[in-house]
Structure 1
Amino acid sequence: MRQINKCAALFLMFFICAAPVFSSGTTAGDFLLVDISAREAGLGGIYAPSYARPSASNANPAVLQGIEEKSAVFSHFTSVFGTNYEQLIYAQPLGKKDSLSVSLMYDTNPELYRTNEEGYEVERIENYDITGACSYAREMMKDLNAGINVKFAFSKIHRSGNFGAVLNAGVLHKNFEQKYLIGASLENIGINSSYTKEKAMFPMLFRGGYGIYVYRNEGDVIQILAEERIFLVENEGAETSLGLEVTYRDFFTGRIGYVFGRQEGRIAIGAGVVYGQASIDYAYQPYFVADNAHRFTITFKF
């Protein structure tokens, strides 16, 4: 317990010290904040208090540890602005205490054009974002996971480009006897090529969450989750998500989430089904304009 308290204190101290250092300037790479995986989107963007979830490991890498099989996770959605997001994650255990994942995210808007003074389209604007990532998680103690994630990002719009690298670090305290999870992560710590000219930084944030299993018996699970996100650069402020996940017979799962804080209250809904080694998850977020879209995630375990 003393070691857990030390880890938590160090993580909190780092967060407090980092806030005034990074709390000025503009941001670049807002695509790093987009909820792409359907399960997490259906819970209102909750990632931190998860266990053995490759789909959440790009945010809090500590949640990766606990997987028992190799898995491939593909996610897709198209925003109301016409931007297509695709994400592929491959994860596998490395023995009993370590896990590793690699991922690739790509997005582009094929409907982005440059117009003349009269408003007519004259040229299609080339645009895309690419992110490659690697996550590593380890069980430090029976009830404590720690993880690290490194992302390399490149963006292009018209004739300008921007590239950089970011680091995520996270921890997860799990207590299955008391049926709860506590997770925290510091995300998007890094710099990009536009910093020297525009002083633009990646959108760094602190994420902390809590999940409790109010019922768990033979494939039937009811879990309540909560998460707080504190934005540390240009998007200063905080938002909170509350989520409910109900699973029936390890086959069907329903989800609902609610987000409030920086904007008016927003709701999210989702569902998932499992068939053998495959599962399909769906989410719809009818709030925030850029996220008003259907999301799909397909997972294969092998």
Structure 2
Amino acid sequence: MKKTLLFNILFYFVIISFLYSAGETSFNFLKISQGARQSGLGEAFTGVADDVNAIYWNPAGLAQLTRQQVCLLHSVWLVDVNYEYLAYAIPVIGVGTFGIYGTFLAGHITITDENPVTGQYIITDDIARASDINITLAYAKKLSEIVGDNSVFSDMYAGLNINITMENIYEDTGNGFGTNLGILYYPRYQNYSFGLMILNAGIASERPTLPFAIKLGFGYRFSFENILSPFTDEGYYKFSENDSALAIDLIYYPIEQTTKANFGAEKYWNLNKFHSVAVRLGYKFGSDLGLLAGLTVGAGYRLTLNENFQFDFDYAFVPYGDLGESHRISITGKMFGPAETNYFENKEEAVKYYKEGYELLYNKKYAEAILKFSESLKRYKNYAQAYMGMGACFLRLGKKETAKKVYELALQNDPNNQKLKEFIESTKWDIK
């Protein structure tokens, strides 16, 4: 009797299991990252989750979306295996955000037989195929739409996804069902965010289990050119557009009893109002394939047609040591709505903080007043009176140079204020 050898077709699934430490689990292709941007960030995205790929990384992040998004990814994986990914998300006002994605991983190899007489291996005309298919549905909602804007939960987002998986390796098949739960905390007017994700809380048939994991993520957005502003007086009144991000993920696999950490950073440069470019760098700690195998690099190009249409073209290079490397390319379209932001103009709250700051200024509590005026400006960045109040505080604290800058910002936002203009011109600033 002939012995059929499927070494090659099984080999790439062995690689997948090895890469993801999956000796006790099946469906390990579910750990393959979705999105070239996220791959370039070292797969640290749980605490950021700000685009359509949040369906996979943290479904709660979908609630941040203000427009429809679609992402298409192609990855040349190991051993000539192709990996395809398509995702779509749509926010529905008053209801929440819905998302769906599908993945397809496939490869094939010619079967060889062993001749029982000679012991030689003969290439046949038969083909052995293997494939993995996953379909995931997701839903997310802002908790502020449920509990209101004044609750401790108002800055939180919650989401879940349900995935159905089908795995086929030659004549062996397996099916699985999993549920992922996510929470994202992203305070309004702040640059930091936290994410929590429970992955694959489900069951699998004809396989031991789905890969179960708990992820904790942190994200921080900032302006690279003004990175030190938060540590200086400028941080109270200068709110630059964020063009950079840092992200950290901690992942715990209870079944494998391992903990891993991922780190990522990205920087955007605006060439003009239509074109932007980005670079990304990431590192996945705990790789079994050597130090360089944890390194990831990426690049991106953003085309902004207008405020309602934007397209991102992203690339990532992910090495796997002696096993080779993976190239990932994705296109993300963001359509039919304004860009996502954590800035929400609220003049009513701005006036409230301004009045509190003015009272503190009147009582000579200048440092506390500056904080109130700063909160006012975060909610209404063109509020001239708040700049004037802050300028008065800095002036009384003896910080004349800073005071002058703030007063000039007040004048920029209220150019017809003749008294303010005369005050700036007549004051002896004595700035060296």
TM-score range, shorter chain: 0.7 to 0.9
1:133 aligns with 2:148: no
> What is aligned with 1:178?
190
Give the partner amino acid of 1:248.
W
Contact 1:267/1:287 (8 A) holds in 2 = no
**Aligned counterparts, 1:192-211, within 5 A:** 192-195=204-207, 200-211=208-219
> What is aligned with 1:269?
297
> What is aligned with 1:212?
220
Quick check: 286-295 or 53-62, which moved more?
286-295
Instruction: Compute the displacement of 1:136 (Å).
Output: 0.5
Point out the structure with max Rg over C-alpha.
2
Instruction: Compute the displacement of 1:97 (Å).
Output: 6.4
Instruction: Compute the displacement of 1:252 (Å).
Output: 1.4
Contact 2:43/2:263 (8 A) holds in 1 = no
**Corresponding residue to 2:320 among 263, 287, 291:** 287
Instruction: Compute the displacement of 1:121 (Å).
Output: 3.3
SS in 1 for 2:143: strand
Quick check: 254-263 or 30-39, which moved more?
254-263
Aligned residues: 273
SS in 2 for 1:178: coil
Contact 1:43/1:257 (8 A) holds in 2 = yes
CA distance in 1, matches of 2:212, 2:122: 38
Instruction: Compute the displacement of 1:219 (Å).
Output: 5.0
SS in 2 for 1:36: coil
Instruction: Compute the displacement of 1:262 (Å).
Output: 4.8
Give the partner amino acid of 1:149.
N
> What is aligned with 2:169?
157
SS in 2 for 1:57: helix
**Aligned counterparts, 1:22-101, within 5 A:** 26-95=24-93, 98-101=96-99
CA distance in 2, matches of 1:135, 1:113: 38
> What is aligned with 1:248?
269
Instruction: Compute the displacement of 1:232 (Å).
Output: 2.0
Give the partner amino acid of 1:212.
Y
Q: Which has the higher contact order (CA 8 A, sep 6+)?
A: 1
Contact 1:97/1:139 (8 A) holds in 2 = no
SS in 1 for 2:39: helix
| TM-score when normalising by structure 1 | 0.84
Instruction: Compute the displacement of 1:259 (Å).
Output: 1.2
Instruction: Compute the displacement of 1:236 (Å).
Output: 2.9
Contact 2:223/2:240 (8 A) holds in 1 = no
> What is aligned with 1:296?
329
> What is aligned with 1:19?
none
Give the partner amino acid of 1:287.
Y
Give the partner amino acid of 2:245.
Q
Contact 2:112/2:122 (8 A) holds in 1 = yes
**Corresponding residue to 1:102 among 100, 103, 126:** 100
CA distance in 2, matches of 1:58, 1:289: 28
1:232-263 Cα distance to aligned partner (Å, 9 max, x none): 22x33111111111112271111100111253
More strand by share: 1
1:6-51 Cα distance to aligned partner (Å, 9 max, x none): xxxxxxxxxxxxxxxxxx9821101100113101100111120114
Give the partner amino acid of 1:223.
A
1:116 aligns with 2:113: yes
Instruction: Compute the displacement of 1:56 (Å).
Output: 2.9
Contact 1:59/1:187 (8 A) holds in 2 = no
Contact 1:135/1:150 (8 A) holds in 2 = yes
CA distance in 2, matches of 1:185, 1:84: 28
> What is aligned with 1:236?
257
Distance 1:229 1:289, change over 3 A: farther
> What is aligned with 2:373?
none
CA distance in 1, matches of 2:246, 2:169: 41
Instruction: Compute the displacement of 1:215 (Å).
Output: 2.0
More helix by share: 2
Contact 1:219/1:247 (8 A) holds in 2 = no
Contact 2:222/2:242 (8 A) holds in 1 = no
Runs of 4+ in 1 over 6 A off after TM superposition: none
1:223 aligns with 2:220: no
Unaligned ranges ≥5, structure 1: 1-23
Instruction: Compute the displacement of 1:220 (Å).
Output: 4.9
